[in-house]
Amino acid sequence: MQPSRAQVEAYYFGSPRRIAEKVLFIKRDLRLAEYAEYLTDLETFGNVWRGITGRLHGALVSVIAAGVGPSSIGDALYALDRPGAACLYSGTCGGLHEALDIGDTFVADEAVCGDGYSLHFGCAPFSITHGDPGALQAIKAALATTEERFDAGMTFTTGSVVRETDHDFWLTVDRRCRIIEMGAAAFYVAAQAGGKRAAAYFWVTDLPARGKSFFDPLLAEDVQAKEQRYCRAVSLDMALLACL
């Protein structure tokens, strides 16, 4: 017998009744304790995916550690039975456009489905999916007041980091894409399938098309930019979640 949506949610989250209508999805549960410092009335939940719920400026919010990769991110969002919920994904990316540098922030208005996960929702390979316009506008407006360097536009969502080392991989990447990452397309198609409002944003950790990939040594100033942006990630995530 096919399980109900409520049964699916309970299996993956353990105590889904504790999950709020505003949800932040992050990659790693090692940072959940840092997010907890911003919340009052704290509760924890989790089975396959772990998370926390509490009050942020009086509003109930949740933070879920979804893991790394399109299938993990997409499934974590799809398992959540919260039609109408406002969902924010915070991740990292490689900057492709020449105007982007390490440490910059990028909002994904739309994403090319190069991930594989989106196929399970009827998306054709390399088709384009979109975030929720209202949610995207809200985080852009907030970033405009806090960030000196942020950009927005199209991203390429891939399912493989290793393939980026091959020349022919880059022949599949739409030239309109300003970043490359591993979550936005999966996040958006899963949100649309579940009736949720989704926005995804990223910060640039490397420049794979400009000689600053994972395999290239970084200049001291690039290392410093990464460290500073990593340290600011939690506070910025919570500020953006509050504005949804």
Domain harbouring 95, CATH code: 3.40.50.1580
Confidence (pLDDT) at 211? 74
Q: How many helices (H) and strands (E) does the chain have?
A: 6, 10
- Give the type of residue at 10: A
Domain extent for 145: 5-243
Total number of domains constituting the chain: 1
Partnered with residue 55 across adjacent β-strands are 40, 60
Rounded distance between C-alpha atoms, residue 39 and residue 10, angstroms: 23
* Cβ atoms < 10 Å from Cβ of 144: 9
Q: Can you give 129-191 as a three-state secondary structure string? A: EECCHHHHHHHHHHHHHHCCCEEEEEEEEECCCHHHHCHHHHHHCCCCCCEEECCHHHHHHHH
* Cβ atoms < 10 Å from Cβ of 110: 18
Confidence (pLDDT) at 223? 86
Picking from 39, 94, 74, the residue whose alpha carbon sits closest to that of residue 192 is 74
Going by the DSSP 8-state scheme, the letter that residue 103 receives in this structure is T
Confidence (pLDDT) at 148? 87
- Render each residue's pLDDT in the chain as its tens digit; 244 residues: 788 888 999 999 997 678 999 999 999 999 999 999 999 999 999 999 999 999 999 999 999 999 999 999 999 999 999 999 999 999 999 999 999 999 999 999 999 999 999 999 999 999 999 999 999 999 999 999 999 899 999 999 999 999 988 899 999 999 999 999 999 999 999 999 999 999 999 999 999 987 778 777 888 888 898 999 999 999 999 999 999 9
Confidence (pLDDT) at 33? 97
Confidence (pLDDT) at 16? 66
